[in-house]
């Protein structure tokens, strides 16, 4: 394995979170396989994200949210040793954008935090959501909650902030590891998906607008 990005990803010392997996034999596992097959076949990403005929939107979205969480987690994991309290005392995306953390527990008001602290809270929070059976039911036939897409929008908006921080503050590290093409593909896949289903407000996409215009024609 000569690619340093893959070496980092498979490095056992790196403490990546456990992947949320889909049980074989379930409808969602089949959807996951279908989505992966489209990507592996080199299908145009714009087409690959479209809802397959006869499939439920919520199921398709659930599969992708979990997949994006796993991928973005890995991307951040590869640069995390260079994202420290010292290098990134504020969770930002350039001088114009600062992200503050808010949740239902400790941080009830939007709070300025360092990027690594923000990332930890963000990944923990998403992990709790996607492992909550009431929000992401794993049993086929168990209905999704009425506010499912609302929760998804919040998850995806927060994951987008990871892309913003990585691209603006740590891109030299990504390039140095030779993983630029991989990260760009993940970003394009994510971007086409959220645009296809209207899952992120346009204003959230502002920080990477120029790059996105070049990359996602």
List, as residue ranges, the binding site: 83, 88, 165, 170
Phi (first) and psi of residue 19, to 5 degrees: -75, 140
Structural tokens at position 26: 């379930």
Binding residues for Zn(2+): 83, 88, 165, 170
Question: Quick one: how far is CA 25 from the chain centroid?
Answer: 25
DSSP string, 156-200: HHHHHHHHHHHHHHSHHHHHHTT-HHHHHHHHHHHHHHHHHTT-S
- Enclosing H/E stretch for 112: strand 111-112
| Spatial separation of the C-alpha atoms in residues 167 and 55, rounded to whole Å | 34
């Amino acid at each position: 394995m000569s690619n340093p990005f893959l070496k980092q990803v498979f490095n056992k010392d790196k403490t990546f979170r456990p992947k949320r997996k889909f049980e074989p034999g379930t409808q969602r596992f089949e959807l996951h396989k279908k989505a992966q097959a489209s990507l592996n076949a080199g299908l145009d990403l714009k087409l690959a994200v479209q809802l397959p005929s006869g499939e439920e939107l919520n199921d398709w979205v659930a599969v992708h949210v979990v997949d994006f969480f796993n991928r973005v987690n890995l991307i951040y994991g590869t640069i995390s040793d260079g994202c420290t309290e010292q290098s990134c005392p504020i969770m930002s995306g350039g001088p114009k954008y600062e992200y503050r953390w808010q949740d239902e527990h400790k941080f009830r008001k939007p709070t300025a935090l360092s990027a690594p602290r923000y990332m930890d809270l963000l990944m923990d929070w998403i992990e709790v959501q996607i492992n909550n059976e009431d929000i992401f039911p794993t049993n086929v036939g168990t209905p999704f909650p009425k506010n499912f897409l609302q929760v998804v929008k919040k998850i995806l908006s927060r994951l987008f902030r990871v892309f913003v921080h990585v691209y603006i503050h740590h891109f030299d590290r990504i390039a140095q590891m030779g993983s630029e093409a991989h990260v760009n593909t993940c970003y394009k896949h994510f971007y086409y998906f959220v645009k296809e289903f209207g899952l992120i407000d346009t204003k959230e996409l502002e920080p990477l607008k120029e790059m996105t215009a070049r990359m996602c024609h």
